[in-house]
Amino acid sequence: MEGATPVPELASRARLRVVAALFVLLLGVGPTSLWWLGMGSHRGLAPAPTPTFEAVTEGVYAEELSEWLRESSRLTLAMRTWFLQSEWALGLFDTDSAFTETPGWFFAWESYVDEDGSEHDAEMEAFWTGVAERAERLGVRVHVLIAPDKARVYPEHAFPGGAMPTKRARLYERAVAAIRDAGVGAVEFLPELQQHKKDFPGIQLYARRDTHWNAAGAVLAARALVERIRGAGAALGAPFPFQLMMQEARQPVDLVDLVQGFPPGSTIGDMLRERRDYLFALMPDAGGGPATYVPEAMGDAPVAVSGDSFAAYYFALLVMSELGHKVDRRHVAPGSGPWARLVMALDDVERGVLKAKDLVHVFVERAIVVSDWAPAGDAVRREVR
Amino acid sequence: MVFSSLVFLFGFLPLFLLTYAVVPGLRSKNVVVTLWSYVFYAWWRPDFVLLMLFSTLVDWFCSIRMGEAGEKRSRKPWLVVSMVTNLGLLAWFKYANLVVGTLQDVGMGPSVWEDVVLPVGISFYTFQSMSYTIDVYRGEVKPVRSILDLACYVSMFPQLVAGPIVRYRDVQEQLTERKHSVELFATGAALFMVGMVKKVLIADHVSLIADPVFAATAPGFIDAWLGVLAFAIQIYFDFSGYSDMAVGLGLLIGFRLPMNFDSPYHSASITEFWRRWHISLSTWLRDYLYVPLGGNRHGEVRTYCNLATTMLLGGLWHGAQWKFLAWGAYQGGFLILERLMGKRAPWGFLPKPLQVLFTFAIVLGGWAVFQARDMAAAVDLWTAMLGTQGLGEVPAAASHPEEAWIALGIGVLIAFFGVHSWKLVQGFRATTLVWLFVLFVVAVMQLAARSHNPFLYFHF
């Protein structure tokens, strides 16, 4: 309670000038890089929020800008990667979100949940039965394509000795059985994946640092599906002329969010983004020339695809390519969860918005053990919307 | 907005400094400081800027009237208006929930009550503003004619939300006559970087050890001591780091703000601890509460009463919870005990290192109360520290991330054996500077990498 408030004395060395210059330089990095790299939209990264009068006065803009700076600006993503890479190099990196057995291969934590899904049996049965009943009532065929977990396709990179834990090993076949038992068409292509991997060991089917399939994996999935649809005698009508175009692009891999770091030796570009050849579709315009593909223009497609990021990564367009017909992909929505978009697609069929008679839903195996399962009732639909 | 945020570092600070640099003349620069300070404050809740503006207007008006009133007796009504306004706002926004909650507990409060939102930093800027009107009343400071100068003083963003509590007389001349130099700027920059490193690389990591202990329902002996030790390091590096940043930012624009910490864990008694911890608050309480109450001028008993009152209210200043009152009582109790023993600690006969250790143990006991969820949790933690709940599971204590342990170790070493931030900056050895820049860059990168970035004194 005693003693005067000290007022600092100041140092006066010449090198203070160097400190001042360096500090200004450091402070300049932020605004300069934001200006240089841009605050607009990048592939896979959200654009910076736009300040509106309401957003600013209500304090919402402040939150949104802070969130954007943290999660979507190139500058902070780069810094995050540098920092975590340094932690990795120092042996301090620690995360519960992603794992690796083989260096350079990452797997999501869900891959290591050693469950066979039996505790979700009742919910799964109720859900798929609800889907089957609804599909029958609406006169549509539902094909559920099961995307095997990456750790199932590449157990040698995920588990010590390459052996998947016993209970987890049963999960896939139990999931397929649950769908079939409910009367819903289950499309399997795990055998094709495994055979392809055996025949062509140099061709990867899933990305190393991403949980999703790559273009090659998606082609196998699309072929298996198209075979099923054609085998089921779908009325597809006349083929639709369109053209697929490949374009090189880079985007953050999903495990960036989970693991937030990469092994030593990666370049900054590799750390942030995985090179990905993007597929674009062109369709004829009114005069017969090429025009950009518009999902909304596919409203009369005979086949619709729904699902989250697995459906989005190559798959929907490859189905169109393999099939030679329009595919309605308005219910392909990355981050939408394992089944929500299927429920919404059925809602749209009911409302007459979706005309397709064959609904394809991409269902991700690893979602089974972590999903909040619920019957496909009104409550679910409300939640989804 | 807090200093240790990406928005502040990448947006606010560079743009503010750029604007400040290009605007000519001190008066215009003060306008820049004031406007940007309002932006800084509005970032959290734009509407609460009006509250600060209102408080500033009232104090400016009252001080002008006091200046015109002449005699001290004629000045008093305006002082009362200022005090009632400031303390009224503080009471409503900070303590209304506590009062209503307590009344509800005894069946007397309203059945429906919507919690009042606490404006960030209200305790700090209210105390600053009050010190100005009190000083004008006492005749120690002349009333400021320009409301801009007062608004600049009250809202100045470096010290706005977490101190140090600056008195008007400390910056009065600087508002009109301060100088800018590269040396001053560099010193401020270095101090800012030291503060950022302390806060982000030590405090934030150590909180990973402290937080689970204070969230646990029945910690064991080891966890309890470890958690409270970690919190002691966390709060010191968090708050003193923030104060360093505040003083550093002040220097960037030519203001010399008072230092707020002086190696408090070097203290050999609680009396000494309070000379070194949150200096701007303890001296404020001394000059504007303890001394007006009579200080030590009216005999022993009255002195102890004044000391107790000051510490109780000082405890309550930290928050509207009974635990803060208990913490104030705890600290006040030891201050009284030491005064009874001739201004020395009961362990004052021991060698100095042991005195420091004993003092630190007493301080830890205080932090256990300070950070506990409530009084019941504080009692649980105390009993755990006394060993009545067993040793606890060692793995629970050992399961923290490695960097948290490293940060705790470095934090303890610096807290007990390190030099004061200011001395570190004064030295300006080349190796120190290189390390400082490296660590600062690492700290900023960590801000981008981690979402865990608590700031303790922001809530007070």
Does residue A86 lie in a domain region? no
Q: How far is CA B178 from CA A357, B26, B38, B181, in A?
A: 78, 8, 21, 10
> What is the CA B153 to chain-centroid distance, rounded?
17
Burial per residue of A4-17, b for 16 or more beta-carbon CB atoms within 10 angstroms, e otherwise: ebeebebbebeebe
Q: Which amino acid is at B173?
A: E
Pairing mode of beta strands A303-307, A290-292: unpaired
Chain B, nearest residue to A31 by Cα: B10
Mean pLDDT of the region B184-207? 91
Q: Which tokens in the block code for residue A235?
A: 């009325």
Does residue A8 lie in a domain region? no
Mean pLDDT of the region A23-35? 82
Residue A333 DSSP class = -
Does residue A295 lie in a domain region? yes
Query: How many whole angstroms separate alpha carbon B316 and alpha carbon B327?
Result: 9
Query: How many whole angstroms separate alpha carbon B213 and alpha carbon B245?
Result: 29
CB contact under 8 A, B428 and A23: no
Please tell me whether residues A40 and A169 are part of one structural domain.
no
Does residue A10 lie in a domain region? no
Of A7, A12, A69, the CB nearest to B256: A7
User: How far apart are the CA of B197 and the nearest CA of chain A, in angstroms?
Assistant: 14
Please tell me whether residues A66 and A128 are part of one structural domain.
no
CB contact under 8 A, B13 and A260: no
Q: Which residues of B does the annotation mark as catalytic?
A: 318
**What is the pTM assigned to this prediction?**
0.71
Chain A, nearest residue to B21 by Cα: A24
How many structural domains is chain A composed of? 2
Please tell me whether residues A256 and A379 are part of one structural domain.
yes
CB contact under 8 A, A20 and B186: yes
- Only one residue has tokens 């005999």, namely B299
B451 chain-A contacts, CB cut-off 8 A: 70
Sheet (strand A290-292) strand order: A243-252, A273-284, A290-292
Q: Give me the half-sphere count of Cα atoms (radius 13 Å) on the Cβ side of residue A218.
A: 25
Please tell me whether residues A45 and A187 are part of one structural domain.
no
Please tell me whether residues A151 and A216 are part of one structural domain.
yes
What are the pLDDT digits (tens) for B130-168?
999 999 998 888 898 889 999 999 999 998 877 788 889
Q: How confident is the model at residue B68 (pLDDT cuts 50, 70, 90)?
A: confident
Does residue A54 lie in a domain region? yes
Query: How many whole angstroms separate alpha carbon A249 and alpha carbon A271?
Result: 15
Please tell me whether residues A63 and A167 are part of one structural domain.
no
Question: Can you give the residue range of the structural domain that contains A214?
Answer: 107-384
Please tell me whether residues A180 and A324 are part of one structural domain.
yes
Please tell me whether residues A190 and A323 are part of one structural domain.
yes
Q: What is the pLDDT of residue B200?
A: 92
Does residue A173 lie in a domain region? yes
Please tell me whether residues A137 and A42 are part of one structural domain.
no
Give the residue, A279 or B420, on which the prediction is more confident: B420
Query: How many whole angstroms separate alpha carbon B124 and alpha carbon B94?
Result: 12
What are the pLDDT digits (tens) for A64-96?
887 777 766 777 767 776 776 677 667 666 665
Q: What is the pLDDT of residue B374?
A: 85
CB A188 within 8 A of CB A176: yes
CB contact under 8 A, B440 and A26: yes
> What is the CA B184 to chain-centroid distance, rounded?
24
Does residue A12 lie in a domain region? no
Q: Which tokens in the block code for residue B49?
A: 């800027």
B44: phi then psi, degrees, rounded to nearest 5: -85, -55
B189 chain-A contacts, CB cut-off 8 A: 19-20, 23
B279 chain-A contacts, CB cut-off 8 A: 3, 5-6
What are the pLDDT digits (tens) for A95-148?
655 666 676 677 877 788 888 878 888 888 888 999 999 999 999 999 999 999
| Least confident stretch, A160-169, A244-253, B140-149 | A244-253
Does residue A96 lie in a domain region? no
What are the pLDDT digits (tens) for B206-259?
988 888 888 877 778 888 888 999 999 999 999 999 999 999 999 999 998 888
Chain B, nearest residue to A34 by Cα: B10
Query: How many whole angstroms separate alpha carbon B384 and alpha carbon B217?
Result: 11
CB contact under 8 A, A20 and B182: yes
Q: How confident is the model at residue A3 (pLDDT cuts 50, 70, 90)?
A: very low
> What is the greatest pairwise CA distance in chain A?
92
